[in-house]
Chain A
Amino acid sequence: MAEKILEVKDLKQHFGTIKAVDGISFDVYKGETLGLVGESGSGKSTTGRSIIRLYDITGGEIKFNGRNVQDKMSSKELRSFNKEMQMIFQDPYASLNPRMTAGEIISEGFEIHGMYKNKKERRERVGMLLEAVGLNREHANRYAHEFSGGQRQRIGIARALSLEPSFIIADEPISALDVSIQAQVVNLLKQLQKERDLTYLFIAHDLSMVKYISDRIAVMHRGKLVEIGTSEDIYNYPVHPYTKSLLSAIPLPDPLSEATRKRIPYKDEEPEGELSMHEVFEGHFVYATDEQIGRWYTGKKVKLQ
């Protein structure tokens, strides 16, 4: 297996009595895209925000490049952490400061990290970043409102790339965009990953896009990680009833099969016994009790219809 860039162990994030994230563990390997899917309230965004230290966690451990991110860091260490890990947000309208030009937004981090020698070099870097995300150099002097939604998201991506991070958390980066623009942004993320050797944690509720972009997928439900495996496995051979239910609800652009669609309903069980991760196939884990796994898993790969 490839090198681990991120290790999450028994992560808990409680807000008062609400257990937004309740003891989840997973690893992210260098160079891969891990898709984190779940419905609203499942804790997927909270997980992303905890990893990037937007929240102090309630319990557990998050290691980035082998180092615990919740440890007290010196300002130098914190700078290097912030440089290595970046985030792309969902709403390209809310995440860009309307009083700053695209160039200022993208280069804000440069000053903090002293990444340029003079104004000319700074301008050059901004220009290169704009071009890398499919915009023009001339766009540097425009304000956020002068861009379309897709273009704004490109600025958000350029900002995330500006410090040359190795790991990017993309929290629903395409949910607010139109279909044809979504495809442009997803293609861009894929292409950048190849060119820059990036690792992504891709958080989304749009399962078809997640399947397309991810190497592996983790499914969250009510603060728990219920299933994790390769995208192929999760989509074709899901074991947890929640994953099956989620997959059976995605409408496809195919009227004939939609006419006969059978949604698999899901009801939370109140299991007796201890819940733990069971490895059903290589690298494919399901959160269940021994009794549940006996019922759900037949020992064979069963294709979801």
Chain B
Amino acid sequence: MGETILEVKNLKINFKTYAGLVQAVRGVDFSLEKGKTLAIVGESGSGKSVTSNAIMKLIPQPPAIYAEGEILFEGKDLVKATEKEMTKIRGNDIAMIFQDPMTALNPTMRVGKQIMEVILKHKKAATKEEAKKRAIELLDEVGIPFPEQRFKQYPHEFSGGMRQRVVIAIALAAEPKILIADEPTTALDVTIQAQILELMKQIQRTSDTSIIFITHDLGVVANVADTVAVMYAGQIVEYGTANEIFYNPKHPYTWGLLGSMPDLDNDADELLRTIPGSPPDLIHPPVGDAFAARNEFALQIDYEQQPPMFQVSETHFAKTWLLHPDAPHVPVPEAVRKRIEGYLEKNDETSIELGKGGE
């Protein structure tokens, strides 16, 4: 186990709306290790973005209410931090990049100046000359060709992928310890996405940055994550290493997500597995397991009582009654199992151990 840099404990966030109190995040626990990537995966409304914005305290209060829980950054509880303290932490210690690079950039300011601004703000001792030099270096580091010329250009003169690189350069300008990336590649083409993912991993290797990566794309998760948290209806329903989540998934929702992705080797005559229905209303969350209504394997107790987090291995947890010792044995659905076996076969023998772990 590495050094923990961020720990979120039983975080609960509600939003006051005209329709009632929306329980967007309903008791989330996770920890981020230094130099590692935690991916939070989930669908719209699962609470993944609220969770990450909550860490940065970027959600306005009201309507948001931090109802319960702690966000411990290097031992300090950010929930209790004042706005002044947060201003210091934002950018300096924790930086964030968003899905749409255009909303994060000032369209009327040259990109170089936007990077310099961050450097000058966070490194009080730096002169303008030094900041400029560093800004050009950063543009170069994130793979923007002709950084000296690009320094003087405006955001509209960049393509989508290049803009996202500029945003990453700005985020890195203050050398943050944690980088939160909220769907940073969703708006980009696959080839550009691949470049950005490579860039983020390379930055992580050289500066030991810890990353929280929020996405709905399981392929991207498999590419970047050390640890994965699967969110559903404001809760983490499965948590484990990437290998555990992809090769030994335990929660029926994770099965559903994996099954609804087409495989490049999929038989075209087969229909995709789907998760029927849609997520629950979080103003009146269901009494028992929030996923029960969409779960073909739901037990009677799922409608009555929330399952606890069952431990599968030292690092792997899942919130489903199916893991209770008295529950009937429900195997991974055939289509999902076949696919996992296919992947493991393709990779070498040593990996198969991981897939069978915790049975």
The interface of chain A, by Cβ under 8 A from chain B, is: 39-40, 148-151, 178-184, 186-187, 190-191, 205, 207-209, 211-213, 215, 231, 235, 245-246, 248-258, 261, 263, 266
Contacts and interface: CB of A to CB of B under 8 A. Distances in A.
Contact of B261 (A149, A191, A253): A253
B278 A253 contact: no
Given A148-B278, A256-B243, A183 B218 contact: no
A140 B192 CA distance: 42
Nearest to B344: A256
A208 B262 contact: yes
Contacts of B263: 208, 212
B98 to A, nearest CB: 17
A40 B219 contact: no
19 contacts: A39-B189, A149-B44, A151-B278, A179-B43, A179-B261, A182-B260, A183-B259, A186-B272, A187-B274, A205-B190, A215-B268, A250-B264, A251-B197, A251-B223, A252-B264, A256-B351, A257-B346, A258-B223, A263-B191
A-B residue pairs, 10 tightest by C-beta = A251-B219, A183-B260, A212-B262, A39-B189, A180-B275, A178-B43, A256-B347, A183-B272, A249-B194, A253-B218
B194 A208 contact: no
A173 to B, nearest CB: 15
Nearest to B218: A253
Given A187-B274, A209-B262, A263 B198 contact: yes
Nearest to B256: A180
B208 interface: no
A252 B257 CA distance: 13
Contacts of A213: 268
Interface of B: 43-44, 160, 189-195, 197-198, 216-223, 225, 242-243, 246-247, 256-264, 266, 268, 271-276, 278, 343-344, 346-347, 351
Contacts of B257: 179-180
A211 B262 CA distance: 8
Main secondary structure of the interface of B (DSSP, over half): helix
Contacts of B193: 249, 251
Given A149-B44, A180-B260, 10 more contacts: A179-B217, A187-B271, A187-B272, A205-B190, A207-B190, A212-B272, A251-B223, A253-B219, A255-B243, A256-B344
B278 A150 contact: yes
Given A251-B223, A255-B225, A208 B191 contact: no
Contacts of B273: 183
A258 B246 CA distance: 12
A253 B246 contact: yes
A248 B192 CA distance: 12
Most buried by B among A181, A231, A248, A254: A254
A154 to B, nearest CB: 12
Contacts of A256: 243, 343-344, 347, 351
B264 to A, nearest CB: 6
A187 B198 CA distance: 33
Given A246-B191, A251-B217, A256-B243, A40 B160 contact: yes
A266 B262 CA distance: 25
Contacts of A151: 278
Contacts of A252: 219, 222, 264, 343
A302 to B, nearest CB: 17
Nearest to B191: A249
Nearest to A40: B189
B243 A249 contact: no
Contacts of A205: 189-190
A263 B195 CA distance: 9
Contact of B260 (A39, A179, A211, A266): A179
A257 B278 contact: no
